Amino acid sequence: MNARPRERPLLRAGDLSKRYSVGRSIFPAQRRTVHAVDTVSLDIWPGETLGIVGESGCGKSTLGRCLVRLTEISSGSLEFEGRDISDASQRQLRPLRRQMQMVFQDPSASLNPRRRVGDLLADPFRIHERLSASEMADRVAELLRRVDLSPQHASRYPHEFSGGQRQRIGIARALALRPRLIVADEPVSALDVSIQAQIVNLLADLREEYNLTYVFIAHDLSVVRQISSRVAVMYLGSIVESGPTDEVFAAPRHHYTAALRSAVPIPSIDRARRGRLVLKGDLPSPMNPPSGCRFHTRCPAATPICRSERPLLQSIGEGRLVACHHPADG
């Protein structure tokens, strides 16, 4: 990334992998390994929003959790502001937790239903800062206002809120300690279209206001396109293409990106009848991924080399990277 020579990445992942073994068999031979995340290298620059897209099972959520060390990584390196955190213990990570927060798809799962929203939002202050009760109440009220809820909402319980409001609470909690990086995992996919737009706008506003860096993980391409400055496309655990959002969406170089983009139904009759690239078949099982290029079983441009040799993620200029033996013209 020679576009930004002076800066150093906020978060840098090198050959990051996460493997799970599946099956309960006592015979090791029958146990199988899933490479949920397979040697992913990523730089996340201060102030950018990196969108990670892919279909279910591509490993994007696991990658997100690995990036903030919510999931142990199997191998590879992870640096936060140049400091290696791949082996840091949870205790060592604690000061870093203030800097890296996560927002989840279903906020209700992470909000204790028996506690008031005010108490839930005060938790981060209790853990990380010594504040008086009134200071804490002020901070909570400010947080609620910041996510367009009312300070009166502090005395209510999570179930009294709608899905969109709960996601606002989830965002407020992530925001409490003024983190530098927020990893948002499908933050709007459970919400109705009109509410989705509100949350996307809110995230964009907060980014401006607090100088946040986002990793925005979603399966919805249009939402990712809206909020991200850079985008990475994942397929079966690996990044197949990355680059500036507008360029990647306008002229995808990987055939999977092209197919993904072409598959999104567009709410416009002028473009509905356009020629479309419909992929054949389903996603292969991550337990038994295809040889060579993992996309070759569904790729319209596959040749024999794709079956045997795995393409590396290589720079093609202008900050774009693609892992393909026969990149599309774009």
Partner 1 sequence: MVAALGFRLGQMVLVMFGISVVAFLIFFATPGADPSARIAGRNASQETLIQVRHDFGLDRPLPVQYGLMMNRLFVSRDLTSFVNRGQRVIPTVISAIPVTLSLVGGAAVLWVLGGLIVGVIAGATRGTFIDRALMILSLVGVSIPVFWLGEVANLLTQSRWHDSWLFSWVPPLGYIPLTENPWGWFKALVIPWFTLATLYVGLYGRVLRASLIEMMQEDFIRTARAKGIGERRVVLHHGLRTSLVAFVTMFGLDFGALVGGGALLTEVVFGLQGVGKLTYEALQTLDLPMILATVIYAAFFVVMANFVVDVVFVFIDPRARDVG
Partner 2 sequence: MSADAPLLVVKDLAVSFRSDEGLVRAVGGVSFSVEQREIVGVVGESGSGKSQTLLAIMGLIDSPNAIVSGSIRFMGQELIGLKRRALDAIRGRQIAMIFQDPMSALTPVHTIGNQIGEQVRAHEKVSAKAVRARAVQLLDAVGIANPDRVIDSYPHQLSGGMRQRAVIAMALSCNPALLVADEPTTALDVTVQAQILELIGRLRDQFGSAVILVTHDLGVVAEVADRVLVMYGGRFVEEGGKSSVFRAPLHPYTWGLFGSIPPMEGPRPARLAAIPGIPPSLSNLPKGCAFSPRCAFRHDACLVQLPIMQGESHRAACLLPEPTRRQFAAQRPGGVVEMQR
Give the phi and the psi of residue 188 in degrees, each rounded to 5.
-120, 0
Among 23, 138, 201, 300, interactor with partner 1 by CB under 8 A: 23
Choosing among partner 1, partner 2, none, which partner's interface includes residue 25 (Cβ < 5 to 8 Å by kind)?
Answer: partner 1
Give the phi and the psi of residue 64 in degrees, each rounded to 5.
-60, -45
Q: Does 278 bind partner 1 (CB under 8 A)?
A: no
| Nearer residue to partner 1 within complex by CB, 30 or 268 | 30
Choosing among partner 2, partner 1, none, which partner's interface includes residue 201 (Cβ < 5 to 8 Å by kind)?
Answer: partner 2
Choosing among partner 2, partner 1, none, which partner's interface includes residue 214 (Cβ < 5 to 8 Å by kind)?
Answer: none
Q: Are 91 and 270 in contact (CB under 8 A)?
A: no
- Residue 138 CA to residue 160 CA, distance in Å, equals 22
Choosing among partner 1, partner 2, none, which partner's interface includes residue 200 (Cβ < 5 to 8 Å by kind)?
Answer: partner 2
Which region, judged by CB under 8 A, interacts with partner 2, from 69-77, 115-123, 176-184, 197-205? 197-205
Q: Least CB distance from residue 26 to partner 1, whole Å?
A: 6
Q: Least CB distance from residue 105 to partner 1, whole Å?
A: 21
Choosing among partner 2, partner 1, none, which partner's interface includes residue 80 (Cβ < 5 to 8 Å by kind)?
Answer: none
Q: Are 322 and 312 in contact (CB under 8 A)?
A: no
Kind of pairing between the strands at 321-322 and 314-315: antiparallel
Among 193, 275, 317, 318, interactor with partner 2 by CB under 8 A: 193
Q: Least CB distance from residue 29 to partner 1, whole Å?
A: 10
- Residue 215 CA to residue 84 CA, distance in Å, equals 19
- Residue 46 CA to residue 9 CA, distance in Å, equals 6
Note the Cα 39 to chain centre separation in Å. 16
E strand map for 159-297: 181-185, 213-218, 230-235, 238-244
Choosing among partner 1, partner 2, none, which partner's interface includes residue 269 (Cβ < 5 to 8 Å by kind)?
Answer: partner 2
Among 138, 142, 160, 246, interactor with partner 2 by CB under 8 A: 246
Distances, alpha carbon 22 to alpha carbons 30, 33, 49, 211, in Å: 9, 6, 33, 41
Give the phi and the psi of residue 22 in degrees, each rounded to 5.
-120, 165
The interface with partner 1 within residues 24-53 (CB under 8 A) comprises 24-27, 30
Q: Are 234 and 66 in contact (CB under 8 A)?
A: no
Q: Least CB distance from residue 21 to partner 1, whole Å?
A: 11
Which amino acid appears at position 233 of this protein? V
Task: Count residues binding partner 1 (CB under 8 A).
Answer: 6
Helix (H) or strand (E) holding 86: none
The interface with partner 2 within residues 48-87 (CB under 8 A) comprises 55-56
Q: Does 209 bind partner 2 (CB under 8 A)?
A: no
Which region, judged by CB under 8 A, interacts with partner 1, from 23-31, 59-67, 105-113, 278-286? 23-31
CA Rg value for the chain: 21
Choosing among partner 1, partner 2, none, which partner's interface includes residue 221 (Cβ < 5 to 8 Å by kind)?
Answer: partner 2
Can you give the binding site for partner 1, defined by CB under 8 A? 23-27, 30
